[in-house]
Amino acid sequence: MEGETPEPAAPATFLRGEEGASPESARARFERMIRRVQANVCAELEAVEGGTSNNGGGGGALFREDAWTRPGGGGGISRVLQGGRVFEKAAVNVSVVYGVMPPGAYRAARPEVAAAAAAGGEKAGPVPFFAAGISSVIHPVNPFAPTVHFNYRYFETEAPKDAPGAPRQWWFGGGTDLTPSYIIEEDVKHFHSVQKQVCDNYDPSFYPRFKKWCDDYFYIKHRGERRGVGGIFFDDLNDYDQETLLRFATDCADSVLPAYIPIIERRKDTLFTEEHKAWQQLRRGRYVEFNLVYDRGTTFGLKTGGRIESILVSLPLTARWEYDHKPEVGSEEWKLLDTCINPREWI
């Protein structure tokens, strides 16, 4: 696909022509939602960063913004804060892109659907698509303050160019998950309770279903452990009407700050040692392994020729690998690892 073009400032909308004809379309409303959430999250993180921290130095860091467009359609806004007193690195990105995706990208976006089509003898061809989403990863400085990740996205695909006539398909995906270096039950239970409350407002089956999906998705197969303590995750969601799922995705995105900021406020000034920091770096190594090997969003971005700085911005500034490292049984580090191997029900 075409490379991106840097822009001096983000346009009011990345939709154009037919794409932006209706301000009340799902595409237009989703774009407005993700850009509002991006602004709110960045403002809140800068407010936290501007406070005092016992374990850092220098002034509070601010977000850098890069806007870009694609010749084929759409663009995005990347906002990144790094080297702060509270946050080592925080990225909050939005993108709204459309055009035609190659077969490999479609297989990355919808592996089950693509596999079923291939099994039926269908030949893969270029697929017209629309994809919009917000994606964020926040890595704090303090080892007792957990990393959080959230991503909410909306996809549409048309019939392949060489097989016209099939109906348009649409679906939502996303989730919010927590990755601590140390288990602090008060924090994990608060985080999960916020996810459950949002889910229960729509369907009481959502939380247990999406919580298990999250535990299964963020599984590092070659390690036999999860990336963190989970949250919610869903993909290819279209089993409710579009309006309901748009509101659900919006409420999920709006729940990130109340789920996460109270935890950060409690933990950002906790005293820590070099040993605590070394364990945090080892766990961030696991974060890197999952994102580069298994994450569908990373795979999709790489296969569609996406903006590489935006795709890899989820990686922490620093990480660590030690040969055959095993925490002492019964230690706080071991408790975290045991939880990642054996997921728990938190509420």
pLDDT tens by residue, 229-274:
999 999 999 999 999 999 999 999 999 999 999 999 999 999 999 9
> How far apart, in whole angstroms, are the C-alpha atoms of residue 179 and residue 291?
13
Q: What integer is the mean pLDDT of 23-51?
A: 94
User: Among the options 149, 190, 192, 276, which is catalytic?
Assistant: 149
pLDDT tops 70 at residue 184: yes
What pLDDT was estimated at residue 297? 83
Active site residue 149: yes
pLDDT at 34 over 70: yes
- E-assigned strands of 4-85? 5-7, 64-69, 74-82
- pLDDT for the residue 168: 77
pLDDT at 301 over 70: yes
Does 218 score more than 50 pLDDT? yes
Assess contact for 228 and 218: CB atoms under 8 A: yes
Task: Supply the pLDDT for residue 305.
Answer: 72
DSSP, collapsed to helix, strand or coil, labels residue 130 as strand
User: Contact, 347 vs 231, CB < 8 A?
Assistant: no
Q: If residue 47 lies in a helix (H) or strand (E), which one and from where to where?
A: helix 26-49
> 4 vs 319, which has greater pLDDT?
319
Question: What pLDDT is stored for residue 57 in this prediction?
Answer: 46
**79 HSE (CA, 13 A, CB side):** 23
What is the reported pLDDT for 18? Answer: 63
Distance from C-alpha of 219 to C-alpha of 257, rounded to nearest angstrom:
25
In 255-273, where does DSSP find H-type helix?
A: 256-267
Identify each DSSP E strand in the chain by its residue range: 5-7, 64-69, 74-82, 87-101, 127-140, 147-157, 169-179, 219-220, 225-226, 230-237
pLDDT of residue 1: 47
How many angstroms separate the CA atoms of 166 and 271, rounded? 59
- State the Cα torsion 303-307-311-313 to the nearest 10°: 160
Task: Flag whether pLDDT at 164 surpasses 80.
Answer: no
Domain ranges, ordered by start, for the chain: 5-341
pTM across the whole model: 0.90
pLDDT on residue 302 = 80
Rounded to whole angstroms, the Cα distance separating 255 from 320 reads 31
Residues with Cβ within 8 Å of residue 244, at least 6 apart in sequence: 202
Which of 347, 327, 315, 330 has the alpha carbon at shortest distance from 225? 327
Distance from C-alpha of 35 to C-alpha of 11, rounded to nearest angstrom: 11
Q: What is the pLDDT of residue 76?
A: 94
pLDDT score, position 104 = 66
The helix (H) or strand (E) run that includes residue 337 is: helix 332-341
> Which of the 8 DSSP states describes residue 167?
P
Q: Of residues 306 and 319, which shows the higher confidence score?
A: 319
Please provide the average confidence, as pLDDT, over all residues in the chain: 90
What architecture does CATH give domain 5-341?
A: 3-Layer(aba) Sandwich (3.40)
Amino acid occupying residue 129:
F
Q: Which two three-digit tokens encode residue 176? A: 């919010």
β-strand partners of 93:
78, 135
In this structure, of 69-78, 122-131, 136-145, 166-175, the range with the lowest mean pLDDT score is 122-131
Res. 116: pLDDT tops 70: no
Lowest mean pLDDT among 158-162, 189-193, 288-292: 158-162
pLDDT above 70 (res 111): no
Distance CA 297, CA 78 (A): 16
**pLDDT greater than 50 at residue 53:** no
pLDDT of residue 161: 55
Residue bearing the bigger pLDDT, 72 or 170: 170
* Tokens at 105, concatenated: 């990208």
